[in-house]
Chain A
Amino acid sequence: MNFLIINFFLISILLLTTFYIFKTTSLISVVALTGIFTLVCAAIYVNLDAVDVAFTEAAVGSGISTILMVMAVAKLPEGKKNELLNLFPSILLSVSIVIVLLLIITNLPLLGDPNAPIHLHVTPEYIKESKSIFHIPNVVTNILASYRGFDTLGETIVIFTAGLGVIVLLTSNTLNRKTKFKKKVKK
């Protein structure tokens, strides 16, 4: 019962935040509200006992990405900060996604259903044997680093590549070279 009440409360906050994200016109408030949105998502994950996911969501989603978005908004030219875009395409896209999700939702298993396919595949094996094989109590760490070591190596390389890309794109030297190149082409 408590679980349901807390979940209902958090999801109504999510809906309220979404409504204000939709309503507001200044970009900086949209960024702040998105930070609130991800923080509430983290609270929902805690309520679902997914502490590791909640931790990541709180640190990455509402921490670092909000700061980076604030920096990006601060770098925009003055006139563009509060410019209203044509909302019609995005509304159309959102409504069609909602319709598709509502059509699918009846086929999904219920929340916490023990017979859901996700709980029957490899999960029982991991939960049963990982402690005795690896002697490490946190199953999430076992799966992340040992069962799926290749995946995590790939994720690390993705993050590395993303950082490399941003450095190459935004470092001032490259930018100067580019503008000089453009001038030469114009001449």
Chain B
Amino acid sequence: MKDNISSSPILNIVSRILFAPIIIFGLYVQFHGDYGPGGGFQAGVIIAAAFILYSMVFGIKKGETLVPIKINQYLMCIGVLLYAGVGVVSIFLNGNYLDYNVLASDSSSGQHLGIILVELGVGITVATVMIALYHSFASFRIKDD
């Protein structure tokens, strides 16, 4: 498996067509997690799957220009910081750590806001970690010399 660039036109076209719908489905799972099955973990994996498909079909080089390694690593940290930051903000608003009731004027919309932000943090971290895992596996070479 050299750089696994596929020359097959079928794979090429199908992955071009599927790329956007997979991401839209991931976003649906992310933001519909309050009402149906889903949430940050699943959505992160689905969004990562779209980028991994792109890297598999068009080669790791193109995948890395689509999601640069530096930006990916920053986003990994931003996800965790967003989650932890929600907790810190609720401390500053005279609540307990990760107490979403104080985030908005009434407790119900506060819970909604808190849960959406927290799930977003989880989703960003999971998606970028999965992309980083794939990219480091794919560009890994065992040096013989």
Interface residues of A (CB under 8 A from B): 51-52, 54-56, 59-60, 63-64, 67-68, 71-72, 74-75, 77, 133-138, 140-142, 144-146, 149-150, 152-153, 155-157, 159-160, 162-164, 166-167, 170-172, 175-176, 179
Q: Which residues of A contact B56 (CB under 8 A)?
A: 67
**Are A156 and B37 in contact, CB atoms less than 8 angstroms apart?**
no
**Are A156 and B115 in contact, CB atoms less than 8 angstroms apart?**
no
Which residue of B37, B52, B77 contacts A55 across the interface (Cβ within 8 Å)?
Answer: B37
Given pairs A63-B45, A163-B128, A170-B140, 18 additional interface contacts (CB within 8 A): A52-B37, A55-B38, A59-B45, A59-B49, A64-B52, A74-B1, A135-B112, A136-B111, A141-B34, A141-B39, A144-B39, A145-B115, A146-B115, A155-B122, A156-B83, A167-B132, A167-B136, A170-B137
Q: Scoring B residues 103 to 145 as 1 if CB is less than 8 Å from chain A, else 0, what string do you get?
A: 0000110011011001101100110111011101111111100
Shortest Cβ distance from residue B8 to the other chain A in the assembled complex, whole angstroms: 17
Known interface pairs A138-B35, A156-B121; A75-B140 also in contact (CB < 8 Å): yes
**Are A163 and B132 in contact, CB atoms less than 8 angstroms apart?**
yes
**Are A145 and B119 in contact, CB atoms less than 8 angstroms apart?**
yes
Interface residues of B (CB under 8 A from A): 1, 29, 33-39, 41-42, 45-46, 48-49, 52, 56, 73, 76-77, 79-80, 83-84, 87, 98, 100, 107-108, 111-112, 114-115, 118-119, 121-122, 125-126, 128-130, 132-134, 136-143
By secondary structure, the B interface counts as: helix
CA distance A55 to B48 in the complex (A): 15
Query: What is the total of A-B residue contacts with beta carbons within 8 Å?
Result: 136
CA distance A170 to B108 in the complex (A): 45
**Are B34 and A138 in contact, CB atoms less than 8 angstroms apart?**
yes
Shortest Cβ distance from residue A187 to the other chain B in the assembled complex, whole angstroms: 15
Which residue of A137, A149, A164, A172 contacts B34 across the interface (Cβ within 8 Å)?
Answer: A137
Q: Which residues of A contact B76 (CB under 8 A)?
A: 160, 163-164
**Are A176 and B143 in contact, CB atoms less than 8 angstroms apart?**
yes
**Are A156 and B48 in contact, CB atoms less than 8 angstroms apart?**
no
Q: Which residues of B contact A160 (CB under 8 A)?
A: 76-77, 79-80, 125, 129
Which residue of B45, B79, B139 contacts A156 across the interface (Cβ within 8 Å)?
Answer: B79
Q: Which residues of A contact B29 (CB under 8 A)?
A: 55
Shortest Cβ distance from residue B6 to the other chain A in the assembled complex, whole angstroms: 14
